[in-house]
Structure 1
């Protein structure tokens, strides 16, 4: 059985990722027949037992997973590691004494319980004594009533997640109210109130991005830039020497890397290195999203058997978060980097295959299954293949993140 999975980050007050909510579907119709999608999600989870592995999807973060009544009653969540998951009780479940007893038992085994899309109904009162987290959709509950809810839940030591946070203004508003965590797309929508100054380090990174996007990599120029900062050489060689990427050969120089890995792969690593440094001081999730998008767009673009620079799809995905990282408009940023016109057009929203690939990546981030199906039909590519590419991209991004960690 093939698992279709999307993940959506949940941030803490410092805009660091606390956890990911995992969303599952199955098959071309995205659900089991004749049962609700959220129940199908639970069945898929338990039948596949997360064939990808939770760690491959969420790294070292917790996984929030929706469960329907039947899987809670049969204690299916207990097949998972209690230290790695949060059990979300969906708002549509039928609540009775049997369900309450089952959830209390699951909590007693060490599994955190979260109430999803809390709707203020009395049926949830019985869950409060053993609930760890409550998620509130800020678009569904009047904002003036929320402070009293915060006070009530805080008195029970319950943490709160604000869902559907779309802007930094909303993030700050609900942070001030006392919410602990935030779920939404505010990070991907930069609040351009000022421009981050392009200091010497940032300018060096932009130079590296420029070189990595050229058709022919000039290693003399690369060496000239990197030799200004020995730590860059160390980072690059450490990255390439990581056993997750290179199991047999020790890379000793940039020239050696070119001979062993090939020019395209070396250009990818230079681009990754540059972007990671440009993201300095920003939430790490921006870089993670960029990594997933880069690998995913590369795989999809290659599947079209395009004859252009094979780095095109990769760069499109990788640079798609640059505006959020640099707090500048994307059209201003791409004008400073002589990347190909079709990559610039895609990043600036012009129609085309690359723009569609980038939009598809965003569909996966939002679990927009109908959008994925539409793309599949437009380009005559199987949905199973697209989901496989996205799974591979998430795993690759996780490995890159692990390999890029440098001891302080």
Structure 2
């Protein structure tokens, strides 16, 4: 079990989720940490811990292992079903490591090599390696153009790391990379901005009602009833056993009264955003959901329930400009939400913006920044990581609940 862990998505050419890379604060350079039994027991007792499946949501997981861990102490509790073993040293240079990799391959594991200097492409073959990962910021464009097409044609799968812009994604796609790690997909493409169809304007209207302090049940029902697909979605969603284990919900009014105002607002905002996100990577919605729950839980920890819904909306709407390919300020003009939410979404300093900054630090495993944010927000490491872990768990439940209704949101 782990207390200090983060994840980064790795997407395929269609920007669907391929895997997560798991990053461990207690391991060297994010590698799998080796705790003494006493320390493991201390972490489990003092911190809100996660297992591998908790953080990866039962998706494939790249985990970086130090050579000595692979050779001498590979964790027996891990299975080959969803784990990809990531190395920073080519087995060709270490006989013991090569023997260990041979054993892992026979056990069914895939093995990835993190080769940021492309030395292996020049100096040695890739024994037992299925996937090569390359940090595109550490290699010149000339070297990438020289070696990546050759590797792509060799049968080895290629992951481009640190892809932070849509232009970098397009370049790596052209070079022949198979997978892409980085937050390029959270960037708004204002070049393709276009007018919203009436169906999406309806969703924005619905989202507006979820973000206002005054909740008009009949108004919300009338909006949902205009969209038969959304009505069906909401009823199916609320009857999902993960959301509602007690009572069969038979009508919109029944659903909204059953859940209560706060949860209704939350789920309406979530379903509306999921529907708006239909042409975008599903992971964009997943990042938004983690941020939303993190901001909500942090606000509850700091100030109680009074403005927790506002914090939830800040996190959930934080990528609305990317989802709609527009300018955030222009999009917010269409949403009659409170000024403090609008300011946070436009980068104005305040508590909500600090919550977002902390969530972004977790997304990239920036442990130093996370510690700085904890001090700035006057919260202990135990409490901060516990809040993030709870947000991850909740987002995984939402992914599973939504997967029945959004075919691209695969469990």
TM-score by length of 2: 0.90
Q: Report the more deviating stretch, 256-265 or 334-343.
A: 256-265
What is aligned with 2:269? 271
Question: What pairs with 1:6-17 in structure 2 (closer than 5 Å)?
Answer: 6-17=6-17
Any conservation in 1 of the 2:120–2:126 contact (CA below 8 Å)? no
Query: What SS is found at the alignment partner of 2:161?
Result: strand
Structure 1: gaps (5+ residues):
none
Question: What pairs with 1:168-183 in structure 2 (closer than 5 Å)?
Answer: 168-183=166-181
List per-residue Cα deviations over 1:109-164 (Å, max 9, x = no partner). Answer: 11111111432335996661310000111111111122332244234310001111
Tell me the distance in 1 between the aligned counterparts of 2:121 and 2:171. 29
Pick closer, same or farther for the CA change 1:306–1:400 going to 2, 3 Å.
same
The offset of 1:60, in angstroms, is 4.4
Tell me the distance in 1 between the aligned counterparts of 2:30 and 2:403. 36
Query: What SS is found at the alignment partner of 1:22?
Result: strand
Any conservation in 2 of the 1:137–1:164 contact (CA below 8 Å)? yes
Tell me the distance in 2 between the aligned counterparts of 1:165 and 1:123. 21
What is aligned with 1:85? 83
Q: Report the more deviating stretch, 133-142 or 240-249.
A: 240-249
Tell me the distance in 1 between the aligned counterparts of 2:51 and 2:251. 35
Question: What pairs with 1:4-403 in structure 2 (closer than 5 Å)?
Answer: 4-26=4-26, 36-38=28-30, 41-43=32-34, 52-74=50-72, 76-91=74-89, 95-121=93-119, 128-306=126-304, 308-403=306-401
Any conservation in 1 of the 2:91–2:101 contact (CA below 8 Å)? no
Query: What SS is found at the alignment partner of 1:82?
Result: coil
Tell me the distance in 2 between the aligned counterparts of 1:203 and 1:123. 51
The offset of 1:79, in angstroms, is 3.1
List per-residue Cα deviations over 1:356-405 (Å, max 9, x = no partner). Answer: 00111101001111111111112221111111111111111111121122
Query: What SS is found at the alignment partner of 1:215?
Result: coil
**C-alpha RMSD over aligned residues:** 2.5
Task: Give aligned pairs, total.
Answer: 399
Query: What SS is found at the alignment partner of 1:311?
Result: helix
Tell me the distance in 2 between the aligned counterparts of 1:78 and 1:89. 18
Tell me the distance in 2 between the aligned counterparts of 1:201 and 1:56. 35
Q: Report the more deviating stretch, 156-165 or 115-124.
A: 115-124
The offset of 1:108, in angstroms, is 2.1
The offset of 1:194, in angstroms, is 2.5
Q: Report the more deviating stretch, 191-200 or 345-354.
A: 191-200
Structure 2: gaps (5+ residues):
none
Tell me the distance in 2 between the aligned counterparts of 1:337 and 1:187. 24
List per-residue Cα deviations over 1:307-330 (Å, max 9, x = no partner). Answer: 643311100000001011000011
TM-score by length of 1: 0.91
The offset of 1:45, in angstroms, is 12
Query: What SS is found at the alignment partner of 1:217?
Result: coil
